[in-house]
Amino acid sequence: MLLPFAKIIRSEEETIKIAGNFARLLKPGDVVILTGNLGSGKTFFVRYAVKQFGIDSVSSPTFAIVNEYDGSMKIYHFDFYRIKNSAELFDIGFNDYLNDSEAVSFIEWGEMFPEMLPGTRYEVDIILYENLSRAIAIKKNKPIKIAIRK
């Protein structure tokens, strides 16, 4: 898969294929945030992405805040939806999860606490339209380097 990626999606099968292709780019230590309205398919995308690592049991982490999976890759799957402030994230040791260089972290609603995210991360944006088609856009976000001319 070449990034940035963008496509209009009209079936679950298309999302499944894109999620699988995306997962092949992932390396231990990577962080992936997923944005998109309620029911747009963030959990669905993670479920089919981590199938690449032999994991078949992904459920939504909305209530648990984080679910952990062990396949050919260790996976942390977060959902910020119910988090009220970044102090709650410190309390669950969010930074320790992210600093686990052997795991890939997926974060639904990650844009809610941008200050908690590493500058380098993948961003999966899903839009669910009224006609039930979807748009999926994926890019790699890198910290902006500011060149200072002397």
Ligand X SMILES: Nc1ncnc2c1ncn2[C@@H]1O[C@H](COP(=O)(O)OP(=O)(O)OP(=O)(O)O)[C@@H](O)[C@H]1O
Alpha helices in the chain (DSSP H): 12-23, 42-49, 86-91, 94-98
Give the residues across from 138 on adjacent strands. 5, 124
- What's CA 43's distance to the chain center, in Å? 9
How many residues touch ligand X under the rule CB under 6 A: the total is 16
Window 49 to 108, contacts with ligand X (CB under 6 A): 60, 62, 108
CA atoms of 117 and 135, how far apart (whole Å): 24
Q: Strand 5-9 vs strand 134-141: parallel, antiparallel, or unpaired?
A: antiparallel
Q: Which of 35, 40, 67, 105 binds ligand X (CB under 6 A)?
A: 40
- What's CA 3's distance to the chain center, in Å? 15
List the structure tokens of 29: 């230590």
Residue nearer to ligand X on the CB measure, 98 or 110: 110
Give the x/- contact pattern for Mg ion in 55-94, rule: CB under 5 A: -----x----------------------------------
Residue nearer to ligand X on the CB measure, 30 or 79: 79
Q: Give the three-class secondary structure for 112.
A: helix
Residue nearer to Mg ion on the CB measure, 30 or 67: 67
Q: Is 39 in the site for ligand X (CB under 6 A)?
A: yes
Residues near ligand X (CB under 6 A) are 9, 11-12, 15, 36, 38-44, 60, 62, 108, 134
